[in-house]
């Protein structure tokens, strides 16, 4: 059973206990909701569940007017994304549906033929999708039209697309980390020394430091990777302390110079950025 709960925190000089404010229950673990994404102003939250797109009130957990959406085969393994007063849901057939925050349907586009099971990414008015079909797609978010399709990658995509700025994108593709340049109307998949090849499947979303010069990601070979944007290992990386796959998105603490990884063994590893 899966629960979505809101916890109300009350603090004061003496302090009081936490309280469960509301709960929504879903009974089939195979249809667990996607990651819950907070909306603008933290008034509502969005998620996908059992083929539908939800918008619920953060105050009482009830559905917003006009929600959930009709059956759009929403993918519960791909969290929705919110940008410029609109929310975007991926579906199990490679499509993306756009809704205004008031619930109005505002367009759909199909990107590939495989399920989108990785998070959507959006930067500077461009939506990036990575269905499990060896390609990355860029969509104009205002018109919901396809801008470009990348050249084929070495294997089906296994992570969402991360933008480090300056139109540079990173995505996991099987055991490879691919680097892609968004040229506006086209995309270029970097050649040698790319892709960067690991010893297992990359299910961990790559992420960079603040200036995009260092890329961090985990891998199913139980290793924590840190490389530069020329696909060269940072000093001391990869780290091999973990006893199980590292599939979570790393967290980069720029102020303290630390990057944190989570392992399926139930441990958290923090390493100094070199």
**Per-position DSSP letters for 37-104, written without gaps between them:** EE-GGGSEEEEEETBEEEEEETTT-PBPTT-SPS---B-TTS--EEETTEEEEEBTTSEEEEEETTS-
H or E element, residue 15: none
Mean pLDDT of 211-231: 95
What pLDDT score does 22 carry? 79
Q: Which domains does the chain possess?
A: 1-118 (2.130.10.10), 150-274 (2.40.128.630)
Is the confidence at residue 18, as pLDDT, over 70? Answer: no
Q: What pTM was estimated for this model as a whole?
A: 0.86
Is the confidence at residue 201, as pLDDT, over 90? Answer: yes
Tokens 């892609």 locate to 180
Across all residues in the chain, what is the average pLDDT?
Answer: 87
What pLDDT score does 12 carry? 42
Dmax (CA) of the chain: 61
User: In Å, what is the CA distance from 33 to each residue of 23, 48, 72?
Assistant: 14, 6, 14
Higher-confidence residue: 272 or 40? 272
- Proportion of the chain above pLDDT 90, given as a percent: 56
- Range in 29-33, 66-70, 211-215, 239-243 with the lowest mean pLDDT: 29-33
- Proportion of the chain above pLDDT 70, given as a percent: 91
Each residue's pLDDT tens digit, 141-154:
999 999 999 999 98
Measured CA to CA, the distance from residue 48 to residue 32 in angstroms comes to: 9
Long-range contacts of 129-136 (CB under 8 A, 24+ apart): 129/90, 129/94, 129/96, 129/161, 130/157, 130/159, 130/160, 130/161, 130/171, 131/94, 131/157, 132/156, 132/157, 132/158, 133/94, 133/157, 134/173, 136/161, 136/169, 136/171, 136/180, 136/187
What pLDDT score does 44 carry? 87
| pLDDT classification of 39: cutoffs 50, 70, 90 | confident
Each residue's pLDDT tens digit, 102-145:
889 999 999 988 889 888 999 989 999 999 889 999 999 999 99
Burial of 221 (C-beta count, 10 Å sphere; 0-12/13-18/19+): middle
What pLDDT score does 168 carry? 95
Residue pair 49/74 in contact by the 8 Å Cβ criterion: yes
């Amino acid at each position: 059973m899966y629960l979505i709960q809101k916890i109300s925190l009350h603090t004061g000089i003496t302090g009081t206990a936490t309280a469960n404010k509301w709960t929504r229950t879903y009974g089939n673990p195979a249809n667990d909701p996607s990651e819950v994404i907070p909306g603008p102003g933290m008034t509502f939250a969005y998620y996908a569940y059992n083929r539908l797109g939800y918008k619920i009130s953060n105050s009482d957990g009830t559905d917003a007017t006009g929600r959930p959406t009709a059956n759009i085969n929403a993918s519960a393994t791909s969290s929705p994304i919110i940008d410029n007063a609109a929310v975007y849901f991926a579906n199990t057939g490679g499509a993306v549906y756009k809704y205004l925050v008031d619930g109005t349907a505002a367009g759909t586009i199909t990107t590939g033929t495989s399920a989108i099971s990785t998070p959507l990414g959006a930067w500077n008015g461009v939506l990036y999708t990575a269905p499990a079909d060896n390609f990355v797609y860029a969509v104009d978010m205002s018109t919901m039209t396809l801008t470009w399709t990348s050249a084929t990658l070495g294997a089906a995509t296994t992570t969402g697309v991360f933008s480090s700025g300056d139109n540079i994108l990173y995505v996991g593709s099987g055991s490879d980390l691919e680097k892609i340049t968004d040229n506006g109307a086209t995309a270029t998949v970097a050649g040698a020394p790319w892709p960067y090849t690991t010893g297992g499947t990359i299910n961990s979303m790559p992420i960079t430091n603040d200036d995009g010069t260092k890329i961090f990601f985990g891998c199913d070979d139980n290793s924590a990777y840190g490389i530069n944007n020329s696909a060269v290992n940072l000093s001391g990386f990869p780290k091999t302390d973990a006893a199980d796959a590292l599939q979570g998105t790393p967290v980069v603490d720029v102020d303290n110079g630390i990057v944190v990884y989570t392992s399926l063994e139930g441990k958290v590893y923090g390493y100094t950025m070199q």
